Amino acid sequence: MPITPTPKIWMNGELVDWDKAQVHVLTHTLHYGTGVFEGIRAYATADGPSIFRLTEHIKRLFESAKILGFSIPYTVDELVQATKDTVASTGLDSCYVRPLAYLGYGEMGLNTLPCSTEVAIACWPWGALLGDEAVTKGVRMKISSWTRHDHNTMPPAAKTVGNYVNSSLAKVEALKAGYDEAIMLAPNGLVAECTGENIFVARHGKLLTPPLSAGALEGITQSTVGALAKDLGFEVQVDNIARSDLYIADEAFVCGTAAEVSSINSIDDREIPCPGPMTLAMSEAYLATVRRENPKYLDWCELTI
């Protein structure tokens, strides 16, 4: 999806003009994929832009860096404020937000220890990742021929820049084969997640989603859906899912900050009932919550001022 420029990008403590937010070609992360990042959304509300679960996203950025063994030279509070300032500087009511902590120019080679950590935060308008009709019509999924990372190769719990080569391979394979998105299996053959979303399936009236140990990112939307599902009286189980569970699901959906809640209409050409009643209820509850219409979760909705 093309990026629409906005006035400013936050870089290492300063809001700089969009076109001036540049790095040297010998920046470490550009060569070795050593950075970590986040994907966050701000939603238009009567009280101004509201950034959904901002603090948790920034905390996960720090956890990703911790897993990789490098530190970020700011506090969580400082980057929360920097994100709010960046969103406010654009004048946009709603946008996608991309904080990135990357290892900078000055050191080369695989030893990251002497590298400096730089931080940038950009935001721009971005619509529904899987299309505007992803909830009602659903998306066609393909189980990828690419395997999700093993915990001892590329830790899947860290949102590492380099991890997403694996996601890109799966995404492009799925698109070229005429599907919308890929489901990734872990090295043990169990379902991990999608290229940029977690997955839920409904069976026997219960919602199931794979755990972090299955190679899934610990999704903030997955946790939001879990809480909202319980409020709606649905039973939710974080548990391993086998490939066959997918094919015979009563309904299924993907969820993530970019994709929100999107129905699945088929997996490897096996039709899945779509849109299912639980999926529709989850999508509605999710959108109401991110728009500050659910009083129980106002703490999750962080205003820029």
Ligand X SMILES: Cc1ncc(COP(=O)(O)O)c(C=O)c1O
Active site residues: 159
- Shortest Å distance, C-beta 164 to ligand X: 7
Coil, strand or helix at 274: coil
Convert residues 36-55 into a mask of x (bound to ligand X by CB under 6 A) and - (unbound): ---x----------------
* 268 CB neighbour count, 10 Å cutoff: 13
β-partners of residue 139 are: 264
Start-to-end Cα distance in the chain: 29
Of 198 and 304, the one with the shorter C-beta distance to ligand X is: 198
Name the residue nearer to ligand X (CB basis): 167 or 283. Answer: 167
| Angstrom distance (rounded) from CA 87 to CA 270 | 42
Q: Does 217 bind ligand X (CB under 6 A)?
A: yes
Calculate the CA dihedral of residues 76, 77, 83, 84 and round it to 10 degrees: 160
Residue 257 Cβ, how far from ligand X at the closest point, in Å? 3
- Residue 181 interacts with ligand X (CB under 6 A)? no
Which of 94, 198, 262, 266 is in the footprint of ligand X by CB under 6 A? 198
In the complex with ligand X, which residue's Cβ is closer, 104 or 195? 195
Q: Which of 193, 251, 260, 302 binds ligand X (CB under 6 A)?
A: 193
Q: Which of residues 243-302 bind ligand X (CB under 6 A)?
A: 256-257
- Closest approach of Cβ 197 to ligand X, in Å? 5
Nearest one of 197, 195, 182, 191 to 241, comparing CA atoms: 191
Of residues 184, 137, 188, the one with CA closest to residue 165: 184
Of residues 6 and 221, the one with the C-beta less far from ligand X: 221
Angle at 139 between CA 137 and CA 144, to 5 degrees: 165
Q: Which is closer to ligand X, CB of 65 or CB of 115?
A: 65
In angstroms, rounded to a whole number, what is the distance separating the alpha carbons of residues 184 and 171? 10
| Residue 228 makes contact with ligand X by CB under 6 A | no
Q: Label residue 23 left, alpha or beta by phi (over 0 means left) and psi (-120 to 50 means alpha).
A: beta
Q: Which of 99, 104, 196, 276 binds ligand X (CB under 6 A)?
A: 196
Q: Where does this chain bind ligand X (CB under 6 A)?
A: 39, 167, 193, 196-198, 217, 219-222, 256-257
